[in-house]
Amino acid sequence: MYCRSCGKELTGTPEFCLDCGASPMAGSGFCPACGAATTAMTGICTKCGARVAGRGDNTLPVLAHILGLFTGWLGPLIILLVTKEERVKNHARMALNWQLSFIIYSIVSGILILAFIGFVLLGVIFVLDVIFCIMAAVKAGRGELWKYPLTIPFLKAKPDSSGTA
């Protein structure tokens, strides 16, 4: 195993690199399998053919978050059920958690309309939905998993093959 931050060869499976102090799977400059230097858009190492985690095609992770704006919980749920890649499933889980939380917050705000505060809360919640979905989609485009704030964690993210959740 090689450190993805500095490219140094590691013995065993240490929690941090003795050379640079980073987590061996943190960073993105080197292949974790062979230590070869990688570029920002590398999805597969050109030296050994290993998948470079957090890289490559991010279409489905981005789509999981954007679909939440247009389909609510249904879009992320379909992506969660259809895909086999754990990285994509984690994005769908985060988007689904937010959309389910959004529904709960909307129902509570709808009830609070009787107390006249619900109108304001509904507006705030809808604005937060747009902002959070866009922020999560941008992070997914960069290969990062973003946890939505104010979310009730119905589904937990699971570690993918690279060991990152």
Structural domain of residue 110, as residue ranges?
A: 59-141
Same domain assignment for residues 65 and 137 = yes
Q: For residue 150, is it within any domain?
A: no
pLDDT tens for residues 39-77? 655 667 777 777 665 445 789 999 999 999 999 999 999
Q: For residue 85, is it within any domain?
A: yes
Predicted TM-score (pTM) of the model is 0.65
Same domain assignment for residues 68 and 132 = yes
Q: For the chain, what is the domain count?
A: 2
Distance CA 115, CA 109 (A): 10
For residue 4, CA distances in Å to 19, 34, 45, 54, 165 come to: 12, 10, 12, 12, 16
- Name the stretches of the chain with pLDDT < 50: 54-55, 162-163
Same domain assignment for residues 51 and 66 = no
Rounded to 5 degrees, φ, ψ at 125 are -65, -40
Same domain assignment for residues 30 and 100 = no
